Amino acid sequence: MEDIARHAGVGVGTLYRRFPTRPDLIAATFEAQMAASADLAEEALAAAEPWPAFCRYVEQVCEMQARNSGFATALTMTLPRAREFQAERERAYAAIGSLARRCQSSGELRSDFVVEDLILLLVANGGVIAAVGHAAPELWRRLAGYMLQAFAARNEAPLPPGPPPSVLYEALLRTGEQQMLELTGS
């Protein structure tokens, strides 16, 4: 927090008054990008053709992660006290859930797809970006392409069960604590 205050040209006290906790600072930093992600999800939901819109959304949000490694981390963090940030996440989640149901109804998306599968893709994409993004900045496209093919209804071979939403939420909450330390340099 001291480094951030110094770079911002303000005192540490001023920074803490505006952002009392690290999650508050992280949420404020990435709230606009979370809102942009939710806007993209709603645009995809409004599209006439659900499957191409779903694919376009997945590619766009993965690209957002690739452009900003901080957002790649923040996107998969759970910040329960950051109301606006969480509201934007929930808006995106609701739109993608509705879009997924449209894609399933049209027979284009696997019948066993759940929104948590997309969250797993975003976690994996963040890992790819962190591990090799400096050397292969477009490798995320291959991962997204593979996953979109796997999500397609023509690939209905049984999968191992996914985690219940509550387990994934708890995992992201615990992981978020570590990621916050990394994002803020502590």
Q: Among the CATH numbers 2.60.40, 1.10.8, 1.10.132, 1.10.357, which is that of 22-183?
A: 1.10.357
- To the question of pTM greater than 0.85 for the whole model, the response is no
Residue range 51-66: average pLDDT?
97
pLDDT in tens, 42-56: 999 999 999 999 999
Decide which of 134 and 148 is more confident: 148
Distance CA 71, CA 107 (A): 32
pLDDT in tens, 77-100: 778 888 899 999 999 999 999 999
Q: How many C-alpha atoms does 35 have within 13 Å on its Cβ side?
A: 9
